[in-house]
Structure 1
């Protein structure tokens, strides 16, 4: 939900309802009236809107690859003479070319700003943070120190006349802003769908790798807490944990509460469901007599949920400690 919220910040604008090919324009055109307000209050409505637009973009790119927007004008292989594996291989080869062309080639480097800071020791940001001692930022010219970088900047610029500025590269204007917008929408929604399908399939490895792609999106939209969380997740799965702990960390991220394939949900979402049910169970029971009257029923319901959850975890191939 937070990743979709970050995508929403980059692509959605209610003031663009009259601009064709924007998300809000398609929201009105398709009649997705439930996609309104904050993303957290209409998560599935917004997700279905973005997925519908993504499906349309994929079809357009596929037809363009075949050379025509009309299926009657396209020459397709004779699938009746092909084995199922050959048909799938033909389809995958085209999809692979589309992903390589529209997702990876000429991609905008949205972490360029971070990379410039890390690679350039003389960068302005490195100058201000190089004098940190015991969690405080020390002035380069006197004995004063400060808790925040902004205070240090104000002090050195006011008292010592320090002024640092790195020239910013001017981005060349694009010849087709609409195409850039559609491709950005395609890339971001593809990342969301990749992560979403990884959760459904219980593919911990894919979800862990997805955190690397989510990180710059969170940074771009000023979602600092989730930027740190992505760094933390990537670090734990990239050598900080011993092999056994790393395997458990990657594999045990989901729970299947209804059975069947591709019906997994993330553990944090399951905890939110339990939290919601707990609050619903406690609604209205605010007096001592009411709490005692319903305590037995409340505990029995939650113990049943806990026992069922432990049984599902114990039946998995990898056990949690």
Structure 2
């Protein structure tokens, strides 16, 4: 039987960290205490104007390929999860493929906002298990700063830019043990960018809008529910998880999820203080950080979780 296994991880953050105090100096009406106590966020990275989503993805993929010891010519599948593509089309995955120098691999984008990376990993796992593909680049990349209303202090302080990637390859040994993914489109109004491009003009609101309380309640509920669902599918208890790598949106959501699952804080990977919410890049960024600093080791059980606008949510349990 063929399984899929993560062979390498990588990430990339543009420029220097932008602190809460830096945002105040740029004219955002907030305070370091207000942001930190409500969200846990201390800083984030903001891409310069010339930097695109595919540029961030390129650097993350180079790092992941190096980590895996894989040449880009071996990649036969590229999936990019993003809410902020370079263009309407071609896909960011095809632009990334060109920049990497790969030809012939299947390449496409998916849009599930902050759940995007877990959705993409789930899809890649099924391609590899089917036997049709051998090695995939699975990427979450965002320039979320481009869709923020910098006059809305309730949202603009929460997000940042970045990219994370993994090399997923066919293996005789199980790597991804279970995946779950869900959506509820009836909740589309609590987190969205309700605008579109029509006849060369922006129609509607081109900025991110969020009902923070509704998002908080929804996220805490589904994150704990799908963790239990994913573990049950794999035949393990949540207490068997060595590391929880949740979507890095808000420290209160992360804390509440860990408590509901009975996991000590020492088992939860947190990077939201350094990166803010990087949407589809959030989970792979946190995963890469924990692998590179030595916390996550081979053979450990790791649960990845994402939840985002749509509403979408997904989880992947893996033996790293």
Do they fold alike, i.e. is TM over 0.5?
A: no
Query: Hey, which of these two has a bigger chunk of helix by percent?
Result: 1
> Which structure is richer in relative contact order (CA contacts within 8 A, separation 6 or more)?
2
Normalising by structure 1, we get a TM-score of 0.21
Query: Hey, which of these two has a bigger chunk of strand by percent?
Result: 2
